[in-house]
Amino acid sequence: MNPVRIVIIAALVIFLPVFIVFYVIPAFGGEIDLLPGFQAGPVYIRFYGLLMAAAVLVGFFVASRYAPRFGIEKKHIEGALLWIAVLGFIGARLYYVIFSWAEFQNDPLDILIVWKGGLSIYGGIIGAAAGIIMYAIRSRMPVLPFLDVFALGLPLAQSIGRWGNFFNQEAFGAPTTLPWGIYIEPQFRPFEYLFAQSFHPAFLYESVLNLFIFFLLVYLVRTGISMSAGRLAGTYLILYPIGRYFIESLRLDSFFINSFRVDQITSLVMMLAGAIILFISYHAQKSKQIAQIN
């Protein structure tokens, strides 16, 4: 095993249990105050930003590791990274701004204050997908394998990035008496729930969901079950929105159009897109098999 990988794994094995026992569990119980960041000299560094950066890097390393299995050279993963990061970030911010315009209409310059949160994962996925497609077309490469390799890294990146919501005390659900409910400080609670203290940790549910999807997709790749172009991307676009659809029903910060939750509508659209990709992939594979027989 690569020495660098050994060091990273060892650090995680040591750090994660300590972090969970001495910080996460007490924070869930309201025993310690959650800090959104820390001061480093003249700069205040937010955990949200650090986790977003870590998520991008982890997704990149996973995509680079598995790219050869999809017939993609690692240099193309590096080449596509800037497109994905920039368009994914723009998409995540625009989606949030569009559906929460009331926050920005009096001072549109607040749109630029992104370090305090205000990013939407669905907007990020749409923007990143646009970046992948644009890079693939520009490089004259097939689009579906590119979508597959990044669909593999995306859920692990999402699982990490969701913990930015933990430090910001956001993306939580309705009040609950369940033992894993999270304490939310009064200033972060909706007014109608001011006297509730324990809430569904919706960000945690989504983090676990994405971790499950990541390991499932890795299993499919390693066993060769899902190596036909488009299968991995289609599977992700069905599994993640199914989970998100139900998690969204718990959240207190949903965007609404009339009485409909926007992200649930987006989930249904994503599932349809995943089904279309799987349909195209299946028929492309069948056509290839028939051509080989003939």
pLDDT in tens, 262-273: 999 999 999 999
Say if residue 1's pLDDT is above 70: no
Q: Read off the pLDDT of each residue in 81-106 and give the average, rounded to a whole number.
A: 90
Closest CA to 200 of 166, 176, 164: 176
CA 23 to chain centre: 23
Which residue's entry shows tokens 């989930």?
267
Q: Read off the pLDDT of each residue in 224-249 and give the average, rounded to a whole number.
A: 90
Residue 54 has a pLDDT of 92
Residue 2 has a pLDDT of 61
Q: Read off the pLDDT of each residue in 6-24 and give the average, rounded to a whole number.
A: 81
Of all helices (H) and strands (E), which one includes residue 43?
strand 43-46
CB atoms within 10 A of CB 270: 22
CA–CA separation, 127 vs 129, rounded Å? 5
Cα–Cα distances (Å) from 61 to 5, 44, 185, in that order, read 11, 27, 36
Q: Summarize pLDDT for 25-52 with one digit per residue, the tens.
A: 999 999 999 999 998 888 899 998 899 9
Closest CA to 47 of 37, 55, 58: 37
CA–CA separation, 128 vs 88, rounded Å? 4
Say if residue 168's pLDDT is above 70: yes
Q: Read off the pLDDT of each residue in 169-181 and give the average, rounded to a whole number.
A: 95
pTM (two decimals): 0.91
Least confident span in 105-114, 205-214, 285-294: 285-294
Tell me the three state secondary structure of residue 179.
coil
Q: Are 263 and 246 in contact (CB under 8 A)?
A: no
Cα–Cα distances (Å) from 196 to 135, 178, 202, 231, 254, in that order, read 48, 13, 16, 44, 19
